[in-house]
Amino acid sequence: MNRLLRILCLAIGAAGLQQAAQAQQVYPGRPIRIIVPYPAGESVDVIARLLALRWAPLLGQQIIIDNRSGGGGVIGAGIAAQATPDGYNLLVGNVGAIVIAPNLQAKPPYDALKNFTPISQVANVPFYLFTSVAALNATTLKEVVAYARENPGKLNYASTGIGSGVHLAGELFKSMAKIDIVHVPYKGVGLALPDMVAGKIQMVFYPPTFLSFVKEGKLRAITIAAPARSTLLPEVPTTAESGMPELIASSWHAVVAPAGVPPEYVRKLYETLKVVMADREVREKMGTVGADPVGSSPEQFAPFMRSEVDKWRKVIKSSGITVD
CB atoms closer than 10 angstroms to residue 136: 18
Asked, for residue 2, whether it belongs to a domain, the answer is no
Q: Which of the listed residues 205, 224, 243 is the one where a domain comes to its end?
A: 224
Domain extent, residue 218, equals 128-224
Q: Say if residue 120 is in the same domain as residue 135.
A: no
Q: Say if residue 260 is in the same domain as residue 210.
A: no
Q: Are strands 156-159 and 182-185 parallel, antiparallel or unpaired?
A: parallel
Q: Say if residue 104 is in the same domain as residue 135.
A: no
- Separation of alpha carbons 318 and 309, rounded Å: 14
Residue 232 has what pLDDT?
Answer: 85
Q: Say if residue 258 is in the same domain as residue 119.
A: yes
Asked, for residue 183, whether it belongs to a domain, the answer is yes
Backbone angles phi, psi at 250, to 5 degrees: -160, 165
Asked, for residue 246, whether it belongs to a domain, the answer is no
Residue 25 has what pLDDT?
Answer: 59
Asked, for residue 262, whether it belongs to a domain, the answer is yes
Asked, for residue 161, whether it belongs to a domain, the answer is yes
Residue 17 has what pLDDT?
Answer: 44
* Number of structural domains in the chain: 2
Asked, for residue 71, whether it belongs to a domain, the answer is yes
Q: Say if residue 110 is in the same domain as residue 259.
A: yes
Asked, for residue 23, whether it belongs to a domain, the answer is no
Q: Say if residue 211 is in the same domain as residue 178.
A: yes
Q: Are strands 253-258 and 89-94 parallel, antiparallel or unpaired?
A: antiparallel
- Separation of alpha carbons 268 and 141, rounded Å: 44
Chain centroid to Cα 18, Å, comes to 40
DSSP code of residue 126: B
Q: Say if residue 60 is in the same domain as residue 106.
A: yes
Q: What is the CATH number of the domain that holds 298?
A: 3.40.190.150
- Tens of pLDDT, residue by residue, the chain (324 residues): 455 445 444 445 544 444 444 444 589 999 999 999 999 988 899 999 999 999 999 999 999 999 999 888 899 999 999 999 999 999 999 999 999 989 888 888 999 999 999 999 999 999 999 999 999 999 999 999 999 999 999 999 999 888 888 999 999 999 999 999 999 998 777 788 999 999 999 999 998 888 889 999 999 999 999 999 988 889 999 999 999 999 999 999 999 999 999 999 999 999 999 999 999 999 999 988 888 999 999 999 999 999 999 999 999 988 888 776
- Separation of alpha carbons 50 and 42, rounded Å: 12
pTM for the full predicted model:
0.83
Residue pair 308/95 in contact by the 8 Å Cβ criterion: yes
SS3 293: strand
